[in-house]
Chain A
């Protein structure tokens, strides 16, 4: 298992953002986490990259356990993950090239190897002509594709995408979702948080529904068919 949530709860000032959450993610899986805003999707993601730890229960991600992880292990865990946010979070004072190169530079990859990887990834994602631009010079869709390139550049085993299309119009969103599907096809596990699970064609992804911090049993919930 790549990810295991065992009875995970997270309280903020006694208020449960997550309560008794159990689920697993297998290697290469595509998982969609849906639910209304405030349901706890971002909180789940934060438990996965361990920017936050559970109040009770255990999260295990690629061999790192939330109850045993040390500060020095966090970078090792995060190098196995690629993370994409709704608001892109690109560094505004760096070019597209430097934004994408960052994860390789921080692990001490040689400049030559960085160039090779970043160039090939940018051209694969049809962003090569943009490599010298700054984020504010790009459209929203382009910015999100740069953010995905940054997340994928160091070959993560899991890609976390937290409402990546939340700020994009439908046409552009489709392109981003197609990109995620393609990434998943090449073997990376993808976890996608979204309001709108219809974005992903049926049969590709497994589906979890969160409501006010609780996982709703997908078997009892017929929503996906209804949508």
Chain B
């Protein structure tokens, strides 16, 4: 095989590796964005407490202090009747007449908005926190997404498991495809391996170039797949708004590429190196 033939078959191997990893990359992008939607949804998960009419502002602030000490509570914000009205007028200007109609004696209830730490945004934990605060003095009503929270929590749970499971299956099968592609490319040069070892080359001397080639193919192939996927993602960005995968996941793809490339060249060499007793 001449130099051009060698380069040609290297490029073909590279393309195979890139396309295989692209399947994995696209899966990662889709999973990441589905997760992102759910995470955004979860960020809005919080508890709103409406206070009794006869609670003074001092008592309300005290209550807020107590609540901020509870486990899982990240932020507490006291909304006075005056602020509630301002917000109401700003949010629903066409309904502002309603307030005027009800007269100056009427005022919206004061409330406390509770923000939660991410781990506490599940339906179970929000529910138990809601039960605790609903028993507190001066609390009229507690509102949280009782209806949609269980579904959201389950969706997040299922997606997480699905991504891990499907990700593992894909990672294993694509690594096998890549390893096999590199193995075949290396096995084509079995004669080189055989002659090297017959003329007394040390084991590492025989293996180095092949492992190097496997490593290079794996890294270049997975980088290529990321570039291809990135290009596709960029082209679709305006019609289907989404995010590309984060740096950590990109590293994962590169590491997977490098290790399957090395594993493939290792297996490929095994068929070439003559060893005692087969």
Contacts and interface: CB of A to CB of B under 8 A. Distances in A.
Nearest to B274: A51
Given A89-B195, A91-B191, A93-B2, A106 B276 contact: no
A107 interface: yes
B234 interface: no
A89 B191 contact: yes
Nearest to A77: B200
B101 interface: no
Nearest to B201: A106
A72 interface: yes
A107 B200 contact: yes
Interface string B246-278: 000000000000000000000000000011111
A52 B274 CA distance: 8
B278 A71 contact: no
B276 A102 contact: no
Nearest to B6: A93
Given A71-B275, A89-B191, A91-B192, A78 B200 contact: yes
Interface string A79-91: 1000100000101
Nearest to A55: B277
A150 interface: yes
Contacts of B197: 74-75, 78
A103 B199 contact: yes
A89 B199 CA distance: 12
A71 B199 contact: no
Nearest to B1: A93
A191 interface: no
Nearest to B192: A91
B202 interface: yes
A102 to B, nearest CB: 6
A78 B191 contact: no
Interface in A76-129: 76-79, 83, 89, 91-93, 102-103, 106-107
Interface string A111-154: 00000000000000000000000000000000000000010001
Interface string B180-192: 0000000000011
Contacts of A53: 276-277
A79 B200 contact: yes
Nearest to B205: A106
A72 to B, nearest CB: 7
A49 B198 CA distance: 8
A50 interface: yes
A103 B192 CA distance: 12
Nearest to A75: B200
Nearest to B5: A93
Nearest to B194: A89
A185 to B, nearest CB: 24
A53 B278 CA distance: 9
B199 A78 contact: yes
B177 interface: no
Nearest to A83: B198
Contacts of A66: 276
A119 to B, nearest CB: 19
A103 B200 contact: yes
B3 interface: yes
B203 A93 contact: no
A102 B1 contact: no
A102 B275 contact: no
Contacts of A71: 203, 275
Given A74-B276, A93-B3, 13 more contacts: A51-B198, A52-B274, A69-B276, A77-B200, A78-B199, A78-B200, A79-B199, A79-B200, A93-B1, A102-B199, A106-B202, A154-B199, A154-B200
25 contacts: A51-B274, A52-B276, A52-B277, A66-B276, A69-B276, A71-B203, A71-B275, A72-B203, A75-B200, A75-B203, A77-B200, A79-B200, A83-B198, A89-B191, A89-B194, A89-B195, A93-B1, A102-B195, A102-B196, A106-B200, A106-B202, A107-B200, A107-B201, A150-B199, A154-B200
Interface of B: 1-3, 6, 191-192, 194-203, 205, 274-278
